Amino acid sequence: MEHYTMNLTLKVWRQKNKKDKGGFETYSVSDISSEMSFLEMFDVLNERLVKEGRDPIAFDHDCREGICGMCSMYINGRPHGPWEGTTTCQLHMRAFKDGDTIVVEPWRANAFPVVKDLVVDRSSFDRIIQAGGYISVNTGNAVDANALPIEKDKADTAFAAAACIGCGACVAACKNSSALLFVSAKVSHLALLPQGAPERKTRVTAMVAQMDKEGFGSCTSTGACEAVCPKEISIQNIARLNTEYGIAGLTNDK
């Protein structure tokens, strides 16, 4: 793969806190390697800003391996940038060309208030998980892996749903800021496994209630969430959540 360098113009959203109006600031960066990750490019810019005595751009990051979901940026109108099935930290600068202008914004949702610049508060997701995204287990020695036989198709579907990293790209892409893809992935993951059976009905009602309480919107059924999900979570999980929710509402033993 050919290695090259580029000069870029960045239009980055700067906002001191959630009460600040905020706005775009323009920066020029030069000699950016095509093999840099998007976050490494931001590191280079921030090092320069610090040397100039200016406030560096705040952005979330941790693992930089596509695992934690913290690197949430809206890049040229798309969550996590132009590559499919990719987090921002996995996006490399070869996705862009010399002379490009790149617009970078935070997630836009009432339930994700801006903390500073590109950092948003996604603790609403944590509260949804706390409402029902758990199972009751007895402590002690680990259960043998083969003690609970699970049909392969269910195991595979549960595993695919469990791949959700809770980054919030689905919310950012949805015109209603719906969190249903995230919630449905967590509900599906546990509903398909025998370990999740005891709380199956209370889980879905509690998590949906908390989702509504946090101020997320309703599903638009456009599939935008699935299209931008870095882990390619299927919207079939939303259909499964609707089924789970309907069953929970129609039965008495919730």
Per-residue pLDDT tens for 206-240?
999 999 999 999 999 999 999 999 999 999 999 99
Structural domains in the chain, CATH included, are: 5-105 (3.10.20.30), 123-250 (1.10.1060.10)
What is the mean predicted confidence (pLDDT) over 83-110?
A: 97
Q: What is the predicted pLDDT for the residue at 44? A: 97
pLDDT above 70: residue 253: no
What is the mean predicted confidence (pLDDT) over 101-128?
A: 97
Q: What is the predicted pLDDT for the residue at 147? A: 79
pLDDT above 70: residue 1: no
Of 206, 201, 196, nearest in space to 137 by CA: 196
pLDDT above 50: residue 107: yes
Q: What is the torsional sign of CA 177, 182, 184, 186?
A: negative
Q: What is the predicted pLDDT for the residue at 50? A: 98
Q: What is the predicted pLDDT for the residue at 238? A: 97
What is the mean predicted confidence (pLDDT) over 7-36?
A: 97
Give the range among 17-26, 76-85, 147-156 with minimum mean pLDDT: 147-156
Give the range among 41-50, 91-100, 192-201, 212-221 with minimum mean pLDDT: 192-201
Cα 131–chain centre separation: 19
DSSP string, 66-115: SSS-----EETTEET-SSTT--GGG-BGGGS-TT-EEEEE----TTS-EE
pLDDT over 90 for what percent of the chain? 87
